[in-house]
Amino acid sequence: MSSTADVVIIGGGVIGASVAYHLAARGQKRIVVLDRTQGPGLGSTGRATGGFRGQFSTRVNVQLSLLARDKLTAFRDETGTDPGYRPCGYLFLASNADQLAALRTAAAFQQAAGLRDVREVTPDEVVDLNPAVPRDAVIGGTYCPTDGFIRPLEILRGYLAAAQRLGARVQFGAGWARCLVEHGRVTAVRTETETVATRCVVNAAGAWAGAVAAEAGVEIPVRPVRRQVAVTYPAALLPEEMPLTIFVDDGFHLRVRDGRVLLLWPADLPADDPFDTAFDARWLTPLLDRARAHVPVLRGLQIDRDACWAGLYEMSADRHAVLGQAPGVQGLYLANGSSGHGVMHAPALGHLTAEFVLDGTATTVDVHALRPERFAEGALNPESGVL
């Protein structure tokens, strides 16, 4: 089967959906979204826990969050769907002076970048915000009340439905889509069943973005990294509106969702297949050691192993998104590498990608720091050990 389109988006996760919606909302016609899975949410978006934060350590990430926050606030009016944004806050906790100094520096920096309501908190305030944290376990932290929670699948469905109402074609079950390039210019996208002639392709392939770009002759350092979530049986031990609480010591963090406590801790999980999303139960032992040490009240809680899950982060070489025109291939745009922040930033990344496609550059936020060329230039964004 052959057809033509003005824009083809490879990937129907939250980022591809947001790109489709923002293009369609600006009047772009003949948009096609192609996804190899059988339905929405079968990539990383359906595995996300739904955290939202502005507390980042680089200006560009803070500003992506601020734009996303504005758009989440207007989401229901724009799309007709409730994105589930609940500003319950993120609480970062320090257990020594170095960590607290780093959080303090980050908070000052975030305020200067426009995140006005972030503030330092004392141990007493920490316990007020989250009574599960032992008073003597921390020396302070930072808290931002407009950070909080969102519903990843609702955001995905809202953007897809709104894009479709505006005329976009969304094709799940399309098989692997490959971007074809001739003489340095995009010419078509080919799947197992159809070829769509086009001059414009957006790579929104999540953890698979590196492979999609490579097929078009573009190298981007985005790789899959497995992340896991442990889930307790339902318990009323901790309140649903408790802030997401992060111990910067080791990155252990927890929140409550739908009456269950979700426990997370980033650890290297070796696997033969880097795209493996099987839950590795060996991770539970060190995770639970941390959980009991940081939050003793969790000692009696049992893990519901059937409810635990794993998924893939789309990790870029500097843990920042890769956004804009692909170097060397005219008509190929990248919206990749969000490094585990793709749901919260999707409203902003879709808006900015539409600007790249329709205006030639993004203007709402200065995203120079996210340009794909930075890797070849050796101008990576700074890594923070804290945020």
Ligand X SMILES: Cc1cc2nc3c(=O)[nH]c(=O)nc-3n(C[C@H](O)[C@H](O)[C@H](O)COP(=O)(O)OP(=O)(O)OC[C@H]3O[C@@H](n4cnc5c(N)ncnc54)[C@H](O)[C@@H]3O)c2cc1C
| Helical spans, DSSP H, in 208-338 | 209-215, 284-294
Beta strands 148-149; 119-121: pairing state? unpaired
> Looking only at residues 311 through 330 of this chain, which bind ligand X when binding is defined by CB under 6 A?
311-314
DSSP character string of 309-323? EEEEEEEETTSS-EE
Binding mask 156-195 for ligand X (x = CB under 6 A): ------------------x-xx------------------
DSSP state, 190? E
Greatest Cα-to-Cα distance within the chain, rounded to the nearest angstrom: 66
- CB-nearer residue toward ligand X: 13 or 141: 13
Residue 76 has which token pair? 């229901």
- CB-nearer residue toward ligand X: 52 or 143: 52
CB of 259 to ligand X, least distance (A): 18
Q: Which of 129, 200, 202, 204 binds ligand X (CB under 6 A)?
A: 204
- CB-nearer residue toward ligand X: 53 or 123: 53
> Looking only at residues 322 through 381 of this chain, which bind ligand X when binding is defined by CB under 6 A?
338, 340-344
CB of 132 to ligand X, least distance (A): 19
Q: Alpha-carbon distance 222 to 228, whole Å?
A: 19
Beta strands 185-190; 195-197: pairing state? antiparallel
DSSP state, 166? T
How distant is the alpha carbon of residue 196 from its chain centre? 29
- CB-nearer residue toward ligand X: 230 or 295: 230
262 three-state secondary structure: strand
Return the residue nearest ligand X (CB atom): 13
Residue 213 has which token pair? 């770009």
Residue 335 CB partners (closer than 8 Å, separation 6+): 15, 16, 19, 202, 203, 204, 321, 323, 349, 350, 353
- Count residues near ligand X (CB under 6 A): 41
**Which range, of 10-18, 90-98, 157-165, 290-298, touches ligand X by CB under 6 A?**
10-18
Among 95, 90, 88, which residue's Cα sits nearest to residue 134? 95
Q: Which one-letter amino acid corresponds to residue 170?
A: V
119 three-state secondary structure: strand
Q: In what order do the strands lie in the sheet with 195-197?
A: 2-4, 195-197, 185-190, 178-182
Binding mask 104-123 for ligand X (x = CB under 6 A): --------------------
Query: Is 202 a binder of ligand X (CB under 6 A)?
Result: no
CB of 192 to ligand X, least distance (A): 10
Q: Which of 223, 227, 260, 290 binds ligand X (CB under 6 A)?
A: 227
Q: Which of 19, 22, 28, 45 binds ligand X (CB under 6 A)?
A: 45
Q: Alpha-carbon distance 18 to 2, whole Å?
A: 26
> Looking only at residues 119 through 158 of this chain, which bind ligand X when binding is defined by CB under 6 A?
none
Q: Which one-letter amino acid corresponds to residue 179?
A: C
Binding mask 258-297 for ligand X (x = CB under 6 A): ----------------------------------------
Q: Which of 20, 23, 49, 315 binds ligand X (CB under 6 A)?
A: 49
- CB-nearer residue toward ligand X: 173 or 296: 173
CB of 193 to ligand X, least distance (A): 12
Query: Is 47 a binder of ligand X (CB under 6 A)?
Result: yes
Instruction: Point out which residues bind ligand X (CB under 6 A).
Output: 10-16, 34-37, 42-45, 47-51, 174, 176-177, 204-208, 212, 227, 229, 311-314, 338, 340-344
